[in-house]
Amino acid sequence: MSDETKTTKATDEKKKSPMMLIVLLVVGLVGGIGVSKVMFGGSSAAAEPPPEAGEIANIEPININLADGHFLRIAVGAQLTKKVPEKAEAWVKIEGAKVRDAVIKVFSGKDMATVRSTTGREELVHELDELVTESTEKAVMKVYLAEYVSQ
């Protein structure tokens, strides 16, 4: 082998070495960031803290027409967040109609099998939770059944 070939090979190896080091550093850095996000749940500064529970606002019972001439008498309690400045009774006078409207939208016209089954009732309450939370601009964190009578 000539001296020129040896010099070219040595130069190529020297050029590859810093490039390989940079690639390994980048891969290590990206891997480290991924592991830290998995272990520590990402950036806590960007995550919104969960709301604090406030009073429960009791919504008066209402009768809902179901399918096939049946009806449901239902009352709910709305778990307010602490961001709500009013007392629960005052909040019901202002915002209670939104909760009653959501109850009517979710339960009206449902069949007895759905209303009476545990799974059906849980799905309906979950849907009600989402609708009430959205319509009250997150002033309500959860809706609880206070009265539930079907006939």
Let me know whether 40 and 19 are in one domain. Answer: yes
Distance separating alpha carbons of residues 126 and 122, to the nearest angstrom: 6
Give yes or no: residues 40 and 110 share one domain. no
Cα separation of 102 and 30, whole Å?
46
CA terminus-to-terminus distance, the chain: 98
Check residue 30 and give its pLDDT. Answer: 72
Q: Which residue has the tokens 């059906």?
A: 120
Which pLDDT score, from 0 to 100, does residue 94 have? 93
Host domain of residue 114? 53-150
Q: Are 79 and 53 in contact (CB under 8 A)?
A: yes
Whole-prediction pTM: 0.67
Q: Which residues, listed in sequence order, are joined to residue 143 by a DSSP beta bridge? A: 78
Shared domain for 90 and 138, answered yes or no, is yes
Domain final residue, candidates 13, 29, 47: 47
Summary mean pLDDT of the chain: 85
DSSP one-letter string for the chain: --HHHHHHHHHHHHHHHHHHHHHHHHHHHHHHHHHHHHHHTS-TTTSPPPPPEEEEEEEEEEEEE-GGG-EEEEEEEEEEETT--S-HHHHHHHHHHHHHHHHHHHHTT--HHHHHSHHHHHHHHHHHHHHHHHHTTTSEEEEEEEEEEE-
Q: Is the pLDDT of residue 23 over 80?
A: no
Residue 138 or 44, more confident: 138
Q: What percent of the chain has pLDDT above 90?
A: 64
Give per-residue pLDDT as tens, 97-149. 999 999 999 999 999 999 999 999 999 999 999 999 999 999 999 999 999 99
Q: Give backbone dihedrals phi and psi of 91, rounded to 5 degrees, phi first.
A: -65, -40
Domain count, the chain: 2
Do 134 and 62 fall into the same domain? yes
CA nearest 52: which of 100, 91, 84?
84
- CA distance linking residue 124 with residue 103, whole number of Å: 9
Q: What integer is the mean pLDDT of 60-75? A: 96
